[in-house]
Amino acid sequence: MLSFNFEQKIVKHVSLKPFKSIGIGVAFSPNLKANLFEAARLSVFFDAKLFLIHVGEPSEEKTNGLNEILKSFEKDQLNFEVVFKTGDPVDVILSTSEEKKIDLLILGAVQRERFVKYYVGSIARKITRQAKCSILLLVKPSVVRAPCQHIVVNGLKDPKTESTITAAFYVANQLKAKKVTIVEEINEEQVTVKVDDDKSLRRATIIKERIKLRENSRIKEIISHIPVECTTEKSIKLQPIFGKKGYSIGHYAQIMRADLLVMNAPTKMTFWDRLFPHDIEHILTELPTDVLILQ
């Protein structure tokens, strides 16, 4: 009992209020206002400082423009700073993030023409791969707030998962989302029996049931460590899925029309991972909804 409390305290200490400073790349595009509004709202929600990173020469005009847009957030005590720096966009944003100790970087997605499909553009993709902080990919930034109701979070068997789930609940709490679904993607390799006939099918089904129970109890254990104030009054669902890691969860979030998908950051990224996309790379080519990648 004692140890349990101790652990709970540690978790609380480590992962609550994970975002103290939020960064966003600013380009003077038609989407600027929507992007800034989203970033500003989040900064207010998380009580974090907002850094507007602009790749280019500083100018009075630009600063004034940004101040003008963010004026409406004055009443919320939004604390923001504009950073001007010239150079390669990827390098600028990455280096600024490190200098300013940004915990969460917001990036916009691109919509595939004619279709309601989103993907991450090349610059944002490079940043996502290299960034050492958490990333939020927005598919449809808007000036008016679209309420966030349903959050889907991964429950992979991974050391990072516990803090990811905890952070997801924290985000859910701050954004007042009422429904959290934890998707346990289970590698089909784990089902040791290959389905060939009725007998092997029966055995495979039993094994799958067992894995599901095991996964669910693992996640329940994690949830039990999360401070109660984050988990009460939420409908929490566990959904085990046998499928491709990183892809199934996106597909699921799309079907469920989740408002936010929260995922672990990939452990390592090698040349081969890009050639044979897996994990996060799948999500980047087909953004199902807003995606939060937690470091």
Total of chain residues touching other proteins, rule CB under 8 A:
40
Q: Does 194 bind other proteins (CB under 8 A)?
A: yes
Q: Does 251 bind other proteins (CB under 8 A)?
A: yes
Separation CA 44–CA 230 (nearest Å) = 18
Residue number with CB closer to other proteins (117 or 126): 117
Please say whether the beta carbons of 114 and 32 come within 8 A: no
Please calculate the CA angle 273-18-175 and round it to the nearest 5 degrees.
Answer: 100
For other proteins, the binding residue among 248, 262, 283, 291 (CB under 8 A) is: 248
* Piece of the chain touching other proteins by CB under 8 A; list 71-79, 153-161, 166-174, 253-261: 253-261
For other proteins, the binding residue among 252, 262, 263, 279 (CB under 8 A) is: 252
Q: Does 196 bind other proteins (CB under 8 A)?
A: yes
| CA neighbor of 45 nearest in space, from 135, 133, 147 | 147
Residue number with CB closer to other proteins (56 or 243): 243
Residue number with CB closer to other proteins (109 or 133): 109
Residue number with CB closer to other proteins (65 or 277): 277
Residue number with CB closer to other proteins (12 or 33): 33
Q: Least distance to other proteins from the beta carbon of 280, Å? A: 14
Neighbours of 150 (CB within 10 A): 20
- What is the per-residue binding string for other proteins in 203-242, x denoting contact by CB under 8 A? -xx---------------------------x-x-xxxxxx
Residue number with CB closer to other proteins (92 or 280): 280
Q: Least distance to other proteins from the beta carbon of 291, Å? A: 15
Q: Least distance to other proteins from the beta carbon of 75, Å? A: 22
Q: DSSP of the chain, one letter per residue?
A: -HHHHHHHHHHHHHHSS--SEEEEEE--STTHHHHHHHHHHHHHHHT-EEEEEEES---HHHHHHHHHHGGGGGGGT--EEEEEE-S-HHHHHHHHHHHTT-SEEEEE-EEETTTTEEE--HHHHHHHHH-SSEEEEESS--SSPPP--EEEEE--SSTTHHHHHHHHHHHHHHHT--EEEEEEEE-GGGS-S---SHHHHHHHHHHHHHHHHHHHHHHHHHHHHS-HHHHTT-EEEEEEEES-TTTHHHHHHHHHT-SEEEEEPPS---HHHHHS--THHHHHHSB-SEEEEE-
Q: Which of residues 128-157 bind other proteins (CB under 8 A)?
A: 140, 142-144, 146, 149
For other proteins, the binding residue among 107, 136, 138, 256 (CB under 8 A) is: 256
For other proteins, the binding residue among 13, 75, 114, 268 (CB under 8 A) is: 114
Residue 118, beta-bridge partner list: 111, 287
Q: Least distance to other proteins from the beta carbon of 100, Å? A: 30
List residues near other proteins by CB under 8 A.
114, 140, 142-144, 146, 149, 176, 178-179, 194-198, 200-202, 204-205, 233, 235, 237-244, 247-248, 251-252, 254-257, 282, 286
